Amino acid sequence: FTIIIHKGARLADLIALHEDYRIGDVLGPLGQAFEIRNYGTVVCCGDGVGFVPIIPVIRALKQAGNRVVTILSEFTSETSCLRANVEPYSDVILHSSEEAATLELMDRVLTEEKVDLTVMTGPTPMMKAIAECTRARQIPTRCILNMVMLDGVGLCGICRVMVDGKRMLTCIDGPVFDAHHVDFDQLQNRQRHFV
């Protein structure tokens, strides 16, 4: 049988197994962890429901001593509940109801502040535009990709993305990538096939 170890798994369950008991497979956690440390000032940007994957990153970055500026894109009555999840961990919260306004907010923050890192998740065109903006300013930028995945262990290949001209799999090589090296045009083209 297969034991899937997840964040809530208990070590006691494994310790309780008798000697010579065989475990067929152990699966998890998948992917690569986001490096949490004190970068300085970090801008975290996400949109709507797609903002959810960045919430634990915001919390951890604040707990590591960073100054966190949070930008909520596609802020509506349906997504306003997300604000409460990041308020305790954000020094500044900005929000917009549309992508163009989000890019203007990002540009304003990058102009007014000394930003040490940008972290983003959301629609591919928005991430591409932010990556171009931060590349011009030489600000390190990480993107958290939210890809369609079937197996989560790299067998199906549906979550592949080109990074520095190399094929990477979001499920095992990601989901966090250096946004300045992601081929967002290729990514957007692939995503059209899996809508």
Asked if residue 25 belongs to a domain, the reply is no
Q: H or E stretch including 143? A: strand 141-144
Amino acid 2: pLDDT: 45
pTM of the model: 0.82
Amino acid 191: pLDDT: 74
- Reported as a single tens digit per residue, the pLDDT across 70-84 is 999 877 777 788 888
Amino acid 78: pLDDT: 77
Alpha-carbon distance 162 to 187, whole Å? 7
Alpha-carbon distance 193 to 195, whole Å? 6
Asked if residue 11 belongs to a domain, the reply is no
How many of the other CB atoms lie within 10 Å of CB of 142? Answer: 21
Asked if residue 130 belongs to a domain, the reply is yes
Read off the CATH number of the domain in which 138 is found: 3.40.50.80
Asked if residue 22 belongs to a domain, the reply is no
Range 1-30 average pLDDT = 63
- Reported as a single tens digit per residue, the pLDDT across 108-120 is 999 999 999 999 9
Asked if residue 17 belongs to a domain, the reply is no
**Cβ–Cβ under 8 Å, residues 55 and 144:** no
Per-residue CA distances from 187 to 43, 53, 98, 171 (Å): 23, 19, 22, 15
User: What domain range is 78 assigned to?
Assistant: 41-194
Count of domains in the chain? Answer: 1
* 42 vs 84 pLDDT, higher one: 42
